[in-house]
Structure 1
Amino acid sequence: MVKGKVLRFAKDPKKALFTLAWPILVAMFVQAMYNIVDTAFVGRLGAEAIAALTFAFPLFFIFIAINSGIGAGISSKISRLVGSDKYKAAENASVHGIGISLFLGVILFVIGYPFIDPVFSLLGASEAVLELSIDYMSIILLGVFFIFPLFAINNIFIGQGDTKTPMKIQVATLLLNIILDPIFIYILGFGVKGAAIATVSSFAAGVIMSVYYLRHAQIRPRMESFKFSCRVCWDIMKVGAPASLTMLVMSFYFMAINRIMVYFGTDYVAAFGVASRLESLAVMPVVAFSISLLTLTGMFYGAKKHYLLKSTIKYAVKVGVLITSLVGALFFIAPSLFMRIFTADISLIYIGASYIRVNVFSFPLIAVGMMIGRALQGMGYGVPSLVINLVRVFIVAIPLASLFVFYLGLGYLSIAAAMILGGLASSSLAVAWITLTLRRLNSKHSRQKAR
């Protein structure tokens, strides 16, 4: 029973945080492994094939950003309703969530499909690469009718405190994709187009699997529980839209830093790319814990167990800081060792290792902002996470990096220093924001008790 799960989580929030986080982390690890395997399969087709996927990635990332954001809105809304024992309303919200996802998928398909050719041409794809990119992306766009609802359904499970089922679905989907890749790419001879067919087919299978599991969930979309509500749509979107924009902000961040690194040369851009991959590995566990924190804070907020919010958030932040500090320490001690996982080029290893040794000090600061941003999303506040990341990236980090490099003539390590200062500013803002929010909630609760 969902109610029993909420009570169990409330009894031991620390254990609940780990219980919810580990399946998410497993799914993320499998996703990371799949990305490597998928690139390897396509890589055997030649440089043009890899270039085609490289050009397609920013557009595919938009899919991920929209789905991850709307998913956060769905899980936030459902977790709050589950916490307040409003199960029929949670079922109604789940129908709205799937409907919003499908609607956005249709909009993206209608807008995106006619502009595939001009977009890739604008990005600078050569004629041979352009054709491959169009082949790949035209099929992926057809997949929005599977990709979008699958993300929505997975977050319906997460919202009711079930992260194991989405893990099973995601792992099965990714393993199927790995099996189908060589079949469609090599055996059937579809090449790059085959990689797209394998991806879409896997997502379609994932939808079928998720619908099967959803039939046995306590909170599931039932049409008899559905009653269209603009308020429900707004509650999902006011968390989901800023969360999507937050991911897009990070995409622009990488593009901006790449542009600054170009000033020093191609090796520096490549080294930053490798260092960024290592950073993503460092924060991967924090992402998993932050998603589980969103569910917990949503449930506790909905149940009006405000006394649990502060202690749970504080503990989660400590866990995030501890994880990133330990990983950061490993990277600091042996950065060259980790760089060698991705490259054997001595120059890249030296440049990347030096950058990592400075950049690791930003890891715990990123964890603080990420944890608190997710906690606020769980409570139904979507804007804070976006503002926290805007401050880190656009207000502090990128302007300071530009100032250090282009005006003060400092070296490339000053870019890492700018990242640290950005993290310091955003984490300070995050702490202030959650402190004021919790204080306001406690004050409101005290006034209600006084009545």
Structure 2
Amino acid sequence: MLHKRVEGFIKEPKKALLKLSLPVIIGMFVQVMYNVVDTAFVGRLGAESIAALTFSFPVFFILIGLNSGLVIGMSSRISRYLGEGKKEDAENTAMHGIFLSIITSIILTIVGMIFIKPLFSIFGAAETVLHLSISYMSILFYGMTFMFLSFIISSIFSAQGDTKTPTKIQIFGLVTNIILDPIFIYTFNLGVKGAAIATVISIFLSLMLSIYYLKKDSKLIIHPRSFKYSQKLVKEIVFIGIPASMIMLMMSLYVMIINRLMAYFGTDYVASFGLVSRLDSVAIMPIVALSMAIMVLVGMFYGAKRIDLVKEIVKYGTKIGIVFTLFIALLFFVIPSLFIRIFTTDTNLILIGKPYLQLDLLGFPFIVATMIISRAMQGMGYGMPGFVVNLIRSLIIAVPLSYLFVFVLGYGYLSVAVAALIGNIAAAIVSIIWFLYEIKKSENTRINKKKEAVVVADGFI
């Protein structure tokens, strides 16, 4: 059955891409709603409670980033094994992912509980907010293993080409969280701590549902008996995963640096940059989902040695992504104020954010190309290109240029958007060149192997 699914993807790659992408888009929307729901319920408790969540989210995002590295490393290897027809190796990879997830989550929980107070103090949390942040994050740390396992099991389904099951699990978790939040926050009068407890319980129940589906519907048989420790496999998962994790950590660092730069102009400029960034993340969300689906398909096609399909699906996915983002960019460009008003009615924030958003939109097509190609290369087993390209984009080009424009040349805040645009263009160019180089190298390797096979065959005749 699993082999037929892979054959179906190879037969109709474009249809497979759309089929895989749509559930992932829904799933990512659900993930965004988790934060929205928590913030909405906690928001009624007052400014200090909101601030506690605000300080907690970057820490939570870093943890998600570390876990996503394991998820991407494991998914990439599973997809390629399935493309090669090596089902048992794919099952063993899944078990490695599960064990690595458990070990990593336990280590992070211990480290997090030790350093949580000094960490929030560095962030600048006031004493009252500090207490709330620690109580919220401490509970989430205790649920870290549940969260990591839930994500890793969902990715096992996605790597098989089944993106519907993870979406069902995510929707179940969101609905559970919506039901439990008011009960623990208001009925039990636990406040911010109640929001954390509700989140951990919903994650735990989602994990139980994941395990149920894993036993019932997974085409891969996931059992400790299928585990055969392989140092080579661990290295490969980590080799792909660490750069993927570093990308998310690097983006967090980039935002922190730009926030600090914007503070030079005033608090309103920091707030406006935050609003534009939020609009960006919503607009790009479907592209992130598209790129994840491309990673799975590229892994299968690359494993099956169908380099032609790798090129076809990346080209097709990039076209879809650019067309979609151009449509969104046009809407944002024509009526930017309308979209900014979703988050604020402050006239000054709208005036500051409007031209920044319009400049920011010019980078969308380049972001699409970079994101899709980076994921495709992760699917091929190359984790480093995505990291290097994002490093070039943000910390090597965008940040230095922003400081040059603002502090040396004396340009205004809009020059920060120009610096980001230059970084996005450079990243897209490097991505395309690197991808074409790796594709050409793979094609040449395949041709050489065919020639060697012919020579060997002739020798026997």
TM-score, with structure 2 as normaliser: 0.97
CA deviation after TM superposition for structure 1 residue 220, in Å: 3.5
- Counterpart of 1:95 in structure 2 is 95
| Distance in 2 of aligned mates of 1:42 and 1:13 | 44
**Correspondence 1:333-352 to 2 at 5 A:** 333-352=334-353
Where does the alignment leave 5 or more consecutive residues of structure 1 unmatched?
none
DSSP-derived class of the 1:276 partner:
helix
- Counterpart of 1:409 in structure 2 is 410
- Counterpart of 1:211 in structure 2 is 211
- Counterpart of 1:148 in structure 2 is 148
| Distance in 2 of aligned mates of 1:159 and 1:434 | 22
| Distance in 2 of aligned mates of 1:445 and 1:6 | 21
Listed one character per residue, the Cα deviations across residues 112-147 of structure 1 (whole Å, up to 9, x for unaligned) are 112212222222211111111111011000011101
Matched to 1:258, the amino acid is N
RMSD between aligned residues = 0.9
**Correspondence 1:134-283 to 2 at 5 A:** 134-216=134-216, 217-283=218-284
CA deviation after TM superposition for structure 1 residue 234, in Å: 1.1
Matched residues, number: 451
Matched to 1:110, the amino acid is I
- Counterpart of 2:114 in structure 1 is 114
Q: Are 1:94 and 1:220, in contact at CA under 8 Å, matched by a contact in 2?
A: no
| Distance in 2 of aligned mates of 1:88 and 1:34 | 35
CA deviation after TM superposition for structure 1 residue 323, in Å: 1.3
**Correspondence 1:240-389 to 2 at 5 A:** 240-389=241-390
- Counterpart of 1:60 in structure 2 is 60
CA deviation after TM superposition for structure 1 residue 30, in Å: 2.1
CA deviation after TM superposition for structure 1 residue 158, in Å: 0.8
| Distance in 1 of aligned mates of 2:122 and 2:362 | 37
CA deviation after TM superposition for structure 1 residue 40, in Å: 1.1
| Distance in 1 of aligned mates of 2:290 and 2:57 | 26
- Counterpart of 1:50 in structure 2 is 50
CA deviation after TM superposition for structure 1 residue 87, in Å: 0.5
Matched to 2:313, the amino acid is T
Matched to 1:438, the amino acid is I
Matched to 1:78, the amino acid is I
Q: Are 2:101 and 2:145, in contact at CA under 8 Å, matched by a contact in 1?
A: no
Q: Are 2:33 and 2:174, in contact at CA under 8 Å, matched by a contact in 1?
A: no
Matched to 2:353, the amino acid is G
After TM superposition, the structure 1 stretch with the greater mean CA deviation from structure 2, 357-366 or 314-323, is: 314-323
| Distance in 2 of aligned mates of 1:399 and 1:122 | 24
Matched to 1:389, the amino acid is N
| Distance in 1 of aligned mates of 2:200 and 2:352 | 38
| Distance in 1 of aligned mates of 2:358 and 2:146 | 42
CA deviation after TM superposition for structure 1 residue 5, in Å: 0.8
Matched to 2:48, the amino acid is E
Matched to 2:277, the amino acid is S
DSSP-derived class of the 1:102 partner:
helix
| Distance in 2 of aligned mates of 1:261 and 1:330 | 26
CA deviation after TM superposition for structure 1 residue 256, in Å: 1.0
Matched to 1:442, the amino acid is E
| Distance in 1 of aligned mates of 2:435 and 2:117 | 45
Q: Are 2:95 and 2:223, in contact at CA under 8 Å, matched by a contact in 1?
A: yes
Matched to 1:189, the amino acid is N
CA deviation after TM superposition for structure 1 residue 34, in Å: 3.1
1:75 aligns with 2:93: no
| Distance in 1 of aligned mates of 2:87 and 2:346 | 57
Q: Are 1:69 and 1:239, in contact at CA under 8 Å, matched by a contact in 2?
A: yes
| Distance in 2 of aligned mates of 1:32 and 1:158 | 19
| Distance in 2 of aligned mates of 1:13 and 1:403 | 45
| Distance in 2 of aligned mates of 1:411 and 1:240 | 38
CA deviation after TM superposition for structure 1 residue 100, in Å: 0.6
Listed one character per residue, the Cα deviations across residues 302-340 of structure 1 (whole Å, up to 9, x for unaligned) are 111112111111111111111111111111111001001
CA deviation after TM superposition for structure 1 residue 3, in Å: 0.7
Listed one character per residue, the Cα deviations across residues 383-407 of structure 1 (whole Å, up to 9, x for unaligned) are 0000110000011111111110111
| Distance in 2 of aligned mates of 1:328 and 1:67 | 31
| Distance in 2 of aligned mates of 1:123 and 1:369 | 31
CA deviation after TM superposition for structure 1 residue 37, in Å: 2.2
Where does the alignment leave 5 or more consecutive residues of structure 2 unmatched?
453-461
Matched to 2:321, the amino acid is G
- Counterpart of 1:397 in structure 2 is 398
1:85 aligns with 2:105: no
| Distance in 1 of aligned mates of 2:25 and 2:271 | 27
**Correspondence 1:8-23 to 2 at 5 A:** 8-23=8-23
Q: Are 1:82 and 1:90, in contact at CA under 8 Å, matched by a contact in 2?
A: yes
| Distance in 1 of aligned mates of 2:234 and 2:180 | 37
| Distance in 2 of aligned mates of 1:277 and 1:215 | 38
| Distance in 1 of aligned mates of 2:9 and 2:321 | 19
Matched to 2:180, the amino acid is L
Q: Are 2:39 and 2:50, in contact at CA under 8 Å, matched by a contact in 1?
A: yes
| Distance in 2 of aligned mates of 1:340 and 1:124 | 29
DSSP-derived class of the 1:215 partner:
helix
| Distance in 2 of aligned mates of 1:155 and 1:37 | 24
| Distance in 2 of aligned mates of 1:142 and 1:61 | 16
| Distance in 1 of aligned mates of 2:295 and 2:246 | 18
After TM superposition, the structure 1 stretch with the greater mean CA deviation from structure 2, 300-309 or 434-443, is: 300-309
TM-score, with structure 1 as normaliser: 0.99
After TM superposition, the structure 1 stretch with the greater mean CA deviation from structure 2, 108-117 or 268-277, is: 108-117
1:432 aligns with 2:433: yes
| Distance in 2 of aligned mates of 1:296 and 1:124 | 44
Percentage of identical aligned residues: 51
CA deviation after TM superposition for structure 1 residue 224, in Å: 2.1
Q: Are 1:405 and 1:414, in contact at CA under 8 Å, matched by a contact in 2?
A: yes
